[in-house]
């Protein structure tokens, strides 16, 4: 069986999965998608008050009951930079795992913006023998069985088979 690594990511977390054959195929269904690690972006995970001193954005009042005025405190750019840093960390981990585990097939699924950030971090560093498949959809909240079924339905993973016995 080929060596698969599945990565499901969003801006707040990245999950790594490996496809493993059933230990006892005559008694168990298989192959099985097994979660190896769950990376969490600690900066995104913070509550708004901890990340920004003022939870409200967009409008302020002038002194002395003057008219309201709009302002931009650049929260979107700050959040983008936090996600970019997490994408770099995730990309480094993808390279480490594909090299260390001698991965034949790498499947990366993430929302399209995050996928673009991830691609920039690992695409040129992948081992030549690793076949990359990208999915522009957030699958990070699926459990391993749902994720396996979804990717197998699309022909990206071998489907689970019932016990052979």
Residue 135's SS3 state is strand
**The pLDDT value given to residue 41:** 84
pTM: 0.79
Q: List average pLDDT for each run of 10 residues in the chain, which is 165 residues long.
A: 92 93 77 92 58 50 59 62 90 94 95 91 88 94 95 94 77
**The pLDDT value given to residue 83:** 87
Q: Are 21 and 1 in contact (CB under 8 A)?
A: yes
**The pLDDT value given to residue 4:** 95
**The pLDDT value given to residue 76:** 62
- The two three-digit tokens of residue 64, written as one number: 């002395």
**The pLDDT value given to residue 49:** 39
Ordered by start, the domain boundaries in the chain are 4-153
Q: Write the CATH number of the domain with boundaries 4-153.
A: 3.30.420.60
**The pLDDT value given to residue 43:** 73
Q: Given the structure tokens 């931009």, which residue do they identify?
A: 72
């Amino acid at each position: 069986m080929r060596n698969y690594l599945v990565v499901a990511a969003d801006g707040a977390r990245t999950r790594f999965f490996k496809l493993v054959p059933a230990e006892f195929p005559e008694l168990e269904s298989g192959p099985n998608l097994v979660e190896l690690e769950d990376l969490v972006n600690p900066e995104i995970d913070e509550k708004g008050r901890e990340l920004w001193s003022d939870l409200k954005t967009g409008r302020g009042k002038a002194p002395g009951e003057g008219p309201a005025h709009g302002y931009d405190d650049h929260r979107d750019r700050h959040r983008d930079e936090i996600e970019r840093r997490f994408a770099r960390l995730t990309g480094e981990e993808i390279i480490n795992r594909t090299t260390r585990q001698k991965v034949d097939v790498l499947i990366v699924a993430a929302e399209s913006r995050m996928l673009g950030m991830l691609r920039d971090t690992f695409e040129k560093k992948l081992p030549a023998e690793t076949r990359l498949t990208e999915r522009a959809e957030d699958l990070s909240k699926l459990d391993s069985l749902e994720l396996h079924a979804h990717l197998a339905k699309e022909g990206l993973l071998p489907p689970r088979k019932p016990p052979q016995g």
